[in-house]
Chains A and B, each alone.
Chain A
Amino acid sequence: MEKKDVPQDEGIYGQWHGVCYATDENEKYVLTRSSGWEPANTANRQAWEVIELEIAKISEKVKKGEISPIAYHMAKNLMDVKMLAKYTGLPRWRVKRHLKPQAFRRINHALLERYAKVFNIPVEELVRGA
């Protein structure tokens, strides 16, 4: 890649830049700042679309009362049961159980706080759900 061809397609870096290795007019390698590259932006957007679709699906289910708000926050934080169990320090089967609305209603405050802390939100927001 030559320096003049280093792409500057804004998309994922926001205020920041990435660095590309490119050659200058003397074929010497120089670090060149780049605001992004369209193919990388496309791939990144595609990955987020999948995640957003999944979150929307779960959000619907929470509204219908089919699944607990924890499922929503878990999806929003790109976690799965295994990861959430690690973060909360709970066994997986308990996290799985807390995804059911009936079990969620019986969780005590201390445990709710533990979940809320993992998601970086206040307990009220956790209970409110989607």
Chain B
Amino acid sequence: MKTWAWRGSASQANFMPEQPIKTGFIHRQSAHCESGATSNLLRNCGLDISEALVFGIGSGLFFGYFPFIKIQNQPLITFRNAPGRILKNTAKRLGVRIESFKFKNPEKAMDALDDMLSKGIHVGLQAGVYWLPYFPPPLRFHFNAHTLVAYGMDGNDYLISDPVFDEPVICPRKDLMKARFAEGTFAPKGKMYYLAEIPKKINLPLAITKGIKETCRVMIKTPLPLIGVRGIRFLAKRIKEWPKKYGKRKASLYLGHIIRMQEEIGTGGGGFRLMYAAFLQEAADILKENHLSDMSKRMTGIGDKWREFALFGARICKGRSLDGDNYETLGNIMLDCAEAEYLLYKDLLEVIR
């Protein structure tokens, strides 16, 4: 047993879970990393819960516009809740116990990971995508809240199930170490975790209800103008002023940034709205609640509307906008999304009560 400098609960010196030694790992590709990794970890422990269900139970759907937090010189715009929240919420609502560790020393962090893997434990890791060699170069930005699962070793290489990739991949030790100790916003500090205890019985309907309730509350009841539906409205109004305020070039860059946050790898389309529609559809089956099917259809419509926003927006970025594609129209599309979402969350709260 190695001694580590982890910042976890001291009582967990021996964290060998009652999992059988496993060599393989069932990898299922997902749209989003955190919900996908959580779903894959659960599935490999015998709890078959889809990515969409994890996303819904973990209250992943969100909107936030934080101009004062900068990532790669661009304001933070997010369509999902804070990194780590989906895992935390899901675990809490399903009664799964998670052990998680952070490290100061990279070598010790890697030794700890090796130790876990040698016991056949599947380990969730937070990593910065910039240092992951298997990532396609166009996506290698300094984004530090990526989640992946390490499930084995092959010499000095790690066998990685990165949820957003088609197949499991391989990552050399030195690269993984760098990725685990990436610096900047959301620095992972070597964060790793595993599912320590899976309950024999779970209350799925209750977990789903709780997940939906939190999402609705956050989206329509947060008393801050930058979060939830109010945040969407706020940004929509700002967009209309961009060309005057920043000029054509800069406005186009900001717009491109929104499109990237909304559509680039990991959202499943329409800034997670389509994934949430899939969740509502599954929830309708589980809760036997027909209203939820209607809600799912409405959410699909909203997701498609967001896609429309990206489509028009990209035409402006390209300088090939058609008649009527301008920032005013774009702002209005986003306002439409905000209104439709507002009504949906309100109705959802009624249905789920």
Contacts and interface: CB of A to CB of B under 8 A. Distances in A.
A binds B: yes
Interface of A: 1, 11-23, 27-29, 31, 33, 37-40, 42-48, 50, 77-80, 82-83, 86-87
Contacts of A1: 269-270, 274, 300, 303-304, 307
Contact of A87 (B136, B183, B313): B183
A22 B274 CA distance: 7
Given A20-B268, A42-B317, A43-B263, 6 more contacts: A18-B265, A19-B268, A43-B257, A46-B317, A50-B253, A87-B183
Kindly list the 4 A-B residue pairs having the minimum CB-CB distance in the complex, ordered from nearest.
A39-B314, A29-B278, A86-B183, A43-B259
A80 B73 CA distance: 9
B199 interface: no
B52 interface: yes
Nearest to B133: A120
A39 B136 contact: no
For chain B, the bracket of interface size reads 35 or more
A67 B89 CA distance: 49
B264 A44 contact: yes
A13 B314 contact: no
Nearest to B249: A50
A13 B277 contact: no
Nearest to A48: B138
Among B130, B136, B138, residue most surrounded by chain A Cβ atoms (within 10 Å): B138
7 contacts: A12-B139, A21-B275, A31-B51, A39-B259, A40-B264, A46-B252, A82-B184
Contact of A38 (B252, B278, B314): B314
